[in-house]
Amino acid sequence: MSSLEITFKGEPVKLVGNPPQVGEMMPNATVTDKDGNAVQLHELIKDTTILSVVPNVTTSVCSIQTQRFAEGTKDKDYQFLSVSVNTPEEWDGWKSEHNLSMTTLSDTDRDFGQATGLLMEGLDLLARSVFVLDAQKIVKYVQIVPEGTDEPSYDEAIAAADSL
């Protein structure tokens, strides 16, 4: 199977692998938490989870996506995680600026991008995507946004998580 191709700012870009699909287990990866500690993604997923992946949270669409999911899930009985290549310090500054308390993960070593097939070749950024995972880390919903500068379907992802 060839790797998935999306566009970013209208230009075609290939992903390094094949992202997980519905029914598959989300691959494990090492990510960095807000305190700079290396943690395993699988250790963080203990319940239904919306996993939002953004290229760079300091850009407008990524910021909007993260805020929309943070707001849309704050009163839910499942967790919301957001991952990008941003450093823990960049995430902390962004969360302070937007007055949000949420779990953010940094893929500074690109282990998550490699493991999930979401690293965009030549850009060193993660492809904008959303996954809904059950407590067993099985993908129940996935959206790899075809154009990296477009927003995902918030309502569909939240409805998928609500249904679990």
**Full-model pTM:** 0.96
Cα gap 70→30, rounded to integer Å: 23
Cβ(121)–Cβ(4) under 8 Å?
A: no
Helix, strand, coil percent content, the chain, rounded in steps of 5: 25, 30, 45
- Identify the domain containing residue 51 by its residue range: 5-162
Cα gap 77→128, rounded to integer Å: 24
If one counts the domains in the chain, the total is 1
Which candidate, 61, 63, 82, places its Cα nearest to that of 157? 82
Cα gap 115→26, rounded to integer Å: 9
* Whether residue 3 has pLDDT greater than 80: no
Catalytic residue among 62, 102, 105, 133, which? 62
Cβ(106)–Cβ(88) under 8 Å?
A: yes
Report pLDDT digits (tens) over 99-138.
999 999 999 999 999 999 999 999 999 999 999 999 999 9
Q: What is the pLDDT of residue 88?
A: 98
Q: Where are the alpha helices (DSSP H) in 4-153?
A: 41-44, 60-73, 88-98, 111-116
Supply 5's token pair. Answer: 């191709």
Output the domain CATH number for residue 143: 3.40.30.10
Report pLDDT digits (tens) over 26-79.
999 999 999 999 999 999 999 999 999 999 999 999 999 999 999 999 999 999
Q: What is the pLDDT of residue 92?
A: 97
Cβ(85)–Cβ(56) under 8 Å?
A: yes
* Whether residue 17 has pLDDT greater than 60: yes
3 is catalytic: no
pLDDT-based confidence at residue 1 (cuts at 50, 70, 90): very low
DSSP structural state of residue 150: S
Cα gap 98→136, rounded to integer Å: 32
* Whether residue 18 has pLDDT greater than 80: yes
* DSSP-derived 3-state class of residue 93: helix
